[in-house]
Amino acid sequence: MTQITINLLDPIGTINPNIYGHFAEHLGRCIYDGIWVGEDSPIPNTDGFRDDVIAALRRLKPPVIRWPGGCFADDYHWQDGIGPRADRPRRINIHWGEVIDTNAVGTQEFVRFCRLVGAEPYICGNVGSGTVRELRDWVEYCNFAGDSSWAQQRAADGSPAPLDVTYWGVGNENWGCGGHFSPEDYCAEFRRYASFVRGFGKSLFVIACGPPSNDIEWTTRFFRKLRKDYWDFRNIHGFAAHYYCGTAGTATEYTVDQWYQLIARGLEMEPLVVQQRAAMDAFDPQRRIGLIVDEWGTWHPVEEGTNPRFLYQQSTLRDALVAATTLDIFNRHADKVVMLRDVRAAPGRAGDPHGG
């Protein structure tokens, strides 16, 4: 009989509940029809959001939800998604099928959805096709409590009080769909953008784009540049890696060997966590910057008969096991991967590069 002994005197660390967060992108039917149907829909909804989805997520209790992407984030201009919905521009979703995005779900709607399900919003800003001013104004629109024009606009859109968005990503996958930057070029852009992600009286948690999968070179070159040129720059609290373990067979058709192959590929998350944290430790030994993995999972061939750019795939028990083993890795390395650190423990004050 197998026995497991737990040594209560040798703790690893406190598990951050934010590792159980979720990710919502304007991709396929995730946003439109998936969580949003509009107030006039015959589908039961609250403020346009599906009641069945709200109920399901409330049971899951996600601590944080990341939006609007994904690749979509670096071609999303937030001002398209404010004001009366009837007046919002219709934009082409260049990444996911070139379908028309009506911008019916914008900042106000997303934050409202987070409040309905009990999650904190995590907004991913546009570095690839956006501007520093655009991201800076987005933070002001969300968080400024005074009487500026953007605060007045927020009030006119239905929220006189600040939306209090704590978590801000500076770009997404900027090594790829977010602009194809080198680590050094992205580091320079990150520092420039993050300098203007100010809290307006609120402590923020600012997140840099990390590597594709377990790319140690990306991480090393980013932090070498950050340390060499901007050694005292502190408005960085998280560093986000992405890892998709791919497929073996298809989503629903696979051999016994392929079943285990996919589980094994999912377990490659463990060396990613260990090695990425070690690479960060070389520049950040006090671990002021948290290692985040804010995109991960399986990735199967698109189901036949569906839009190939909607990435539709059926989930099975095999996918659930990959998810379970991934979360177990995060739990067992609670001292290394935090998804999102507690902002109260972050060094310095967001918006103050010297940590004052």
Distance CA 75, CA 92 (A): 10
Q: How many CB atoms lie within 10 A of CB 355?
A: 14
The one-letter code for the residue type at 28 is G
From 98, 295, 303, 304, active-site residue: 295
Distance CA 210, CA 267 (A): 19
| CA torsion through residues 139, 145, 148, 154, sign | positive
From 173, 184, 189, 268, active-site residue: 173
| CA torsion through residues 138, 140, 141, 142, sign | positive
Q: How many CB atoms lie within 10 A of CB 265?
A: 17
Residue 346: HSE in the Cβ half-sphere, 13 Å Cα cutoff: 32
The two structure tokens encoding residue 284 = 């950040």
| Helix ranges, 84-127 (H) | 107-117
Residue 140 neighbours by CB under 8 Å, 6+ apart: 148, 150, 151, 200
Residue from 195, 139, 207 nearest 171 by CA: 207
Distance CA 279, CA 210 (A): 12
Distance CA 110, CA 151 (A): 17
Q: What are phi and psi of 123, to 5 degrees?
A: -100, 130
What element of type H or E holds 212? strand 205-212
Does 295 participate in catalysis according to the annotation?
yes
Does 109 participate in catalysis according to the annotation?
no
The two structure tokens encoding residue 192 = 């420039």
Residue from 219, 249, 21 nearest 120 by CA: 21
Q: Is 124:78 a contact under the CB 8 Å cutoff?
A: no
| CA torsion through residues 292, 298, 299, 302, sign | negative
Which sequence positions are flagged as catalytic? 173, 295
